[in-house]
Amino acid sequence: MDIDAIKSVYFVGAGGIGMSALVRYFLSLGKTVAGYDRTASELTERLNTEGAAIHYEDNVTLIPESCRDKEHTLVVYTPAVPQDHSELTWLRDQGFEIQKRAQVLGTITRSRRGLCVAGTHGKTTTSSMAAHLVYNSYVGTTAFLGGISQNYGTNLLLSQESDYVVIEADEYDRSFHQLRPYMTVITSTDPDHLDIYGTPEAYWESFEKYTSLIQPGGALIIHEGLEITPRVQEGVNIYTYSRHSGDYHAENIRIGGGEIIFDYVHPKGIVKDIKLGVPLSVNIDNGIAAMAMAQLAGVTDEELRKGMATFRGVERRFDFKLKTDTKVYLSDYAHHPAEIRQSAHSIRELYAGRKLTAIFQPHLYSRTQDFYREFAESLSLFDEVILTDIYPAREAPIPGVTSALIYDNLAPQVQKSFIQKKDMLDTVKAKKEEIEVLVTLGAGDIENYAAEITEILKN
């Protein structure tokens, strides 16, 4: 694919967080951009105002004339779209060049120096941190983010001068095998997407293959203790990191008064008094990884210190919606047992002695089936758990798989209830007086209720 030869780009599934960053990228190159998404959202409406033409009905006649020249039109689709989608089927039958989002990102990493972040969890926050650090330094970078940055209000950062590009490397559907990273962080390898991989061993092998794709002269920055053996090419440097040990780690960690400050230790020295702009303990590890990659790209010590202090986070990642003396509410994308465990520990650390309530919307029938015991164990770290029905996303129901599997395995001391999603706001209203710290968890559409939940608790 020669990006310069493309005149128009058509997206099938334009409204996803990863796809929408590419929509914005091709708009920035002056291409004609159009596409389909299943439902309108705030994000798709913003894309329309920015110059894209997105519609919400699977109808071939709605593909604009500007995107019907197959010699000069690229079609980009997300694996979340069913293969029998009529527009996608028609475009395929007509002989258009059709690529997954990951293939397009792979092309970009072949022409620039890709700073990639992979891992079961932590990759969106870590890649957004790294992007913020490098973008605000003298180095500069373009960045395709896996969430909407609170600093910039977008998921795409552009730099015309820099050779670097920050990309979140998604392991779903083995998408990250399309990339050719110059440097990559691997944050975690807790098995996930077993509907794709089948076994934990196959999941880990996929990460091992990913490490073999790092370009010679580049670097692998890997969290200590992961269940994989890197297979890097000759000329690729391997560095380890974690909170307390490794080539990159933290010392003199100070947590208190709503702040987290630590000293950042790297192979050539130490940067004192790094202050986290988003003061959650999980961001110590994320910050170490982000700083390591940024530093290897040439970011200075002072730029690291300033960048970490000014990082404001990513929407839906420990996203504080309300903070008062009596009520705290945050929204978190956590949808894997390990992520929920991290979320619970981080919130408990900040609000020791206060009642923690979680509303959890499980994401995918297959993930619930594979990990319902682990979900129950992680959710049992909260004082109260309110479960909703499963968000199906791309899946059909699996007989016998419901939120009851998690509910029945919660620890005895947990105050628990099950509600239909439509009753969520009424439930929050009824519990308003007893709620002290509330978090809504999940990768589905639970975020759609966040604004109204905030208003209920605020008033």
Any domain includes 169: yes
Q: Max Cα separation, the chain?
A: 64
Query: Where residue 338 sits, what CATH number does that domain have?
Result: 3.90.190.20
Residue 143 in domain: yes
The verdict on residue 134 lying in a domain is yes
Question: For tokens 């293969």, what's the residue?
Answer: 83
Token pair for 205: 């092998």
Pair 151, 299 in one domain: yes
Assess whether 306 and 354 both reside in one domain: no
Task: State residue 287's pLDDT score.
Answer: 98
Instruction: Give the whole-angstrom CA distance, residue 168 versus residue 185.
Output: 10
Number of separate domains in the chain? 3
Q: Which residues form the domain of 354?
A: 319-458
pLDDT, mean of residues 207-222: 98
The count of other CB atoms within 10 Å of the CB of residue 266 is 19
Determine, yes or no, domain membership for 105.
no
Residues 247 and 340 in one domain: no
Question: For the whole model, what pTM was predicted?
Answer: 0.81
Strand positions, DSSP E, 377-436? 384-387, 415-418
Could you tell me if 231 and 359 lie in one domain? no
User: Do 447 and 327 share a structural domain?
Assistant: yes
Query: pLDDT grade, residue 269 (50/70/90)?
Result: very high
Please check whether residues 210 and 228 belong to one and the same domain.
yes
Q: How far apart are the first and last CA of the chain?
A: 54
128 and 193 inside one domain: yes
Q: What is the pLDDT of residues 2-41, one digit of tens each?
A: 788 899 999 999 988 889 999 999 999 999 999 999 888 8
- Considering the domain boundaries, does residue 448 fall inside one? yes
Between CA 308 and CA 292 the distance in angstroms is: 12
Range 250-279 average pLDDT: 93
Q: Which two tokens stand for residue 189?
A: 């390898």
CATH number of the domain encompassing residue 176? 3.40.1190.10
Of 310, 338, 354, the one marking the end of a domain is: 310
Average of pLDDT values for 35-56? Answer: 92
Domain's final residue, options 100, 126, 151: 100
Task: State pLDDT tens for residues 127-154.
Answer: 999 999 999 999 999 999 988 899 999 9
User: Within a domain: residue 106?
Assistant: no
- Domain closes at, from 46, 70, 100: 100
45: CATH: 3.40.50.720
Asked if residue 107 is part of any domain, the answer here is no
**One domain, residues 35 and 159:** no
Pair (43, 132) in one structural domain: no
Residue 32 shares a structural domain with residue 126: no
Domain-located, residue 253: yes
